[in-house]
Chain A
Amino acid sequence: MKVSKLFFVTLISALSFMAICAAESKLLFAEDKGLTIAREADRRDEGFGDSEEVFTMTLVNEHGSSVKRRMRVRTLERHNDGDWSLSIFDEPADVKGMALLTYSHGIDPDDQWLYMPALKRVKRIASNNKSGAFMGSEFSFEDFSSTNDIRKYTYKYLRNEQFAGMDCFVSEWVPAYEHSGYKRMIVWHDTLEYRVLKIDYYNRGDKFYKTLLLKEYKQFLGKYWRSMRMEMQNHLENRSTILTYDKYRFRLGLTERDFDQNALKRSN
């Protein structure tokens, strides 16, 4: 009797221990897998060197009327830190020549300088403006910032799911940097090429806030995939912003000199 009671207690303890371990390992597995997916997506984008993209941003308001912005963005890949970028505004005409220089630092605040051509003034701007609207669009500054620092988010794999006719990994990303406008994001990567196809954003109050769809992927240099059409829908305000890319150019031989304050002042 005594033996069987002891056996019973041991069995129960062992079973509960195993259950806890299983739950724990499932969570560990989910976090591990989420991180692995993000790492793999990141790895596949390494080595592009530098790029220049030209795009049109169409802002559609709640009444359906729209305005267009045109800009160019040059990016310099950095290996031990976040990427550097220079964004030059071409339209609307009143901001033509205005430019923004960003040294992103991943999890740490970015360094940003704004050039105002009318005054010929370069202004270092506050680095806490992550969640602010970019040029009145539904995109925030943080949506454009470099994601090559894996520490910017914590990751959790949720499930596999079909999306846009492709098998996808679905993961949850939680920003680890300060001043984010998001509590979390749900990210869809296709399992074949690890391209981001869709992101659902939840605001600080965990309300379903925005959805980004990344379409018309094109491959460059036989390796790098870039979406030529991005659609950001704001569900709370019923407004949207569409980015259509005219062109992407890679390996133009850009150097640090093309991303300093002198280059910023030369933006035309």
Chain B
Amino acid sequence: MMLRIFLLNPLTALLLALGMFFIICSNVHALELSGNVTAEYRYFFESPVRDNLEKHNLSVAFEPKLYHLFANSRDSISFIPFVRLDQNDPQRTHLDIRELKWQKVGGQWELRIGIDKVFWGVTETVHLVNIINQVDMVENPDEEDLLGQPMINLTLIQNWGNLNLFVLPAFRERTFPGRDGRPGSSVLISNDKAVYESDAKQWHTDFAVRWSKTIGPWDIGISDFYGTSREPRFDSSVFTLDSRGERELIPIYEITNQIGMDIQCTIGGWLLKLEAIHRSGQTDNFFASATGFEYTFENIALSGTDFGVFGEYLYDEREFKTMNRDIAAGVRLSFNDMQSTEVLAALIQDTKYSSRSYYLEASRRLGNSFKLAAEIRGVANVDDRDPLVEFKADQYVQISLGYYF
């Protein structure tokens, strides 16, 4: 019931969750509160594709965390709501429960019930294997912000490895920028008319399993997911008209089976990485992989700075994907200074067309409680046949300042 409310009316669910949380914790003193509030400014260099779009955008996000570890040190509860207010895009102004879970730890098992986030994978520029959570696309096109996923997760810890079993009773639709939102303005996508292959719609029960083990320098994971595809399919003939008579594409969520594998081999300064998936469903049937390396030159010239270089080859059988036969190259600088200054830059070159995309992320702590971050995302030399063309009008620079407590 909580789940149903959560998916249909996040605000009510949030208040309910907060209430429940405080009732549970009311006679407990050791309730830990932490989190951050972050202000963000984006500037888009290119003229917008529609008159209503702005070049400047201000936004603020609040993400507190409440955590309690019970006296037995085995049970814990945690709650992380998230809210963003956006100046221009009502779709980016949103509320989510990133985490609301009870966790129990046993000798050879762990159990998590509630809403949580799971990350699988090793590569830098794409996250193929990662499939449990839906992408919160309005947050950032890098697909690293995820919506909370309702789940029952049992982990078995044995000599032969860790076995992670998931029952996922409900599905979250991917968030897309609205008519007034950037980036992603070239194509309008409906946020409320999604269609499903399953009659159960977002109530289809999904299952996932992952085995993982560390063997010497090798970290290996093999996974299978069966359920509603987190990535929607689009068909130019499946659309709706908004109140202005403009075409909005309708996301199509099909039942899919994804087999995934992620491997990393760590030797000295080298990280060798592989992620591969095969997905099969009603219309989807493809293979994709990311193969790469990262090498770190540690403490260069005794300056304390670590300098890493990485390269990845991205392959995807699907023609419409932006990164389907691409070579990615990048650098990572960690200054290891008092302010934890870090810079990451990557260039992704399409091997079929001349198109390339790039991003740069930098961050630095100010004092003890603030963090300043900058980000640039853009494309260059885009061929009109490359799906990357959709991003051409939406290159941006972002500056954010977060207060952490």
- CB contact between B368 and one of A91, A130, A133 (< 8 Å): that residue: A91
Chain B residue contacts of A203, Cβ below 8 A: 302
B interface size (C-beta, 8 A): 50
Inter-subunit contact A128/B269 (CB<8 Å):
yes
Of all chain A residues, which has the CB nearest B369?
Answer: A93
- CB contact between B367 and one of A67, A124, A130 (< 8 Å): that residue: A67
B50–chain A nearest beta-carbon distance, Å: 33
B336–chain A nearest beta-carbon distance, Å: 4
Inter-subunit contact B34/A96 (CB<8 Å):
yes
CA–CA, A261 to B117, complex, Å? 16
Interface check A56, CB cutoff 8 A: no
Interface check B157, CB cutoff 8 A: yes
Given A94-B36, A124-B219, verify A132-B299 contact (CB < 8 Å): yes
CA–CA, A87 to B212, complex, Å? 23
Interface check B107, CB cutoff 8 A: yes
CA–CA, A152 to B287, complex, Å? 47
Interface check A179, CB cutoff 8 A: yes
Give the contact stretch, choosing among B250-258, B317-325, B337-345, B382-390. B337-345
Chain A residue contacts of B32, Cβ below 8 A: 268
Chain A residue contacts of B296, Cβ below 8 A: 126, 128-129
CA–CA, A260 to B118, complex, Å? 17
Inter-subunit contact B298/A129 (CB<8 Å):
yes
Inter-subunit contact B402/A109 (CB<8 Å):
no
Interface check A262, CB cutoff 8 A: yes
Inter-subunit contact B268/A132 (CB<8 Å):
no
Given A261-B162, A266-B103, verify A136-B340 contact (CB < 8 Å): yes
Interface check B119, CB cutoff 8 A: yes
Chain B residue contacts of A95, Cβ below 8 A: 340
Q: Is the interface of B mostly helix, strand, loop or mixed?
A: strand
Inter-subunit contact B404/A92 (CB<8 Å):
yes
Inter-subunit contact A94/B144 (CB<8 Å):
no
B100–chain A nearest beta-carbon distance, Å: 15
Chain B residue contacts of A59, Cβ below 8 A: 338
Most central of A68, A126, A127 by chain B CB within 10 Å: A126
Of all chain B residues, which has the CB nearest A112?
Answer: B266
- Scoring B residues 86 to 123 as 1 if CB is less than 8 Å from chain A, else 0, what string do you get? 00000000000000000101011010000001110010
Inter-subunit contact B157/A257 (CB<8 Å):
yes
A interface size (C-beta, 8 A): 41
CA–CA, A128 to B268, complex, Å? 5
CA–CA, A68 to B365, complex, Å? 13
Inter-subunit contact B266/A127 (CB<8 Å):
yes
Chain B residue contacts of A123, Cβ below 8 A: 122
Interface set, chain A 67-88, CB cutoff 8 A to B: 67-68
Chain A residue contacts of B367, Cβ below 8 A: 67
Inter-subunit contact A94/B266 (CB<8 Å):
no
B275–chain A nearest beta-carbon distance, Å: 13
- CB contact between A268 and one of B69, B118, B298 (< 8 Å): that residue: B69
CA–CA, A260 to B336, complex, Å? 26
Interface check B288, CB cutoff 8 A: no
- CB contact between A128 and one of B105, B155, B298 (< 8 Å): that residue: B298
Given A94-B365, A181-B302, verify A119-B144 contact (CB < 8 Å): yes
Provide a sorted-by-A list of 23 A–B residue pairs whose CB atoms are within 8 angstroms. Answer: A67-B368, A68-B368, A92-B368, A92-B369, A93-B368, A93-B369, A93-B405, A94-B369, A94-B404, A109-B268, A124-B214, A127-B268, A128-B269, A128-B296, A131-B302, A136-B339, A181-B302, A205-B302, A261-B162, A262-B162, A266-B105, A266-B110, A268-B78
Chain B residues in contact with chain A, CB under 8 A? 32, 34, 36, 67, 69, 76, 78, 103, 105, 107-108, 110, 117-119, 122, 144, 155, 157, 162, 212, 214, 219, 264, 266-271, 294, 296, 298-299, 302, 304, 306, 336-340, 365, 367-369, 371, 402, 404-405
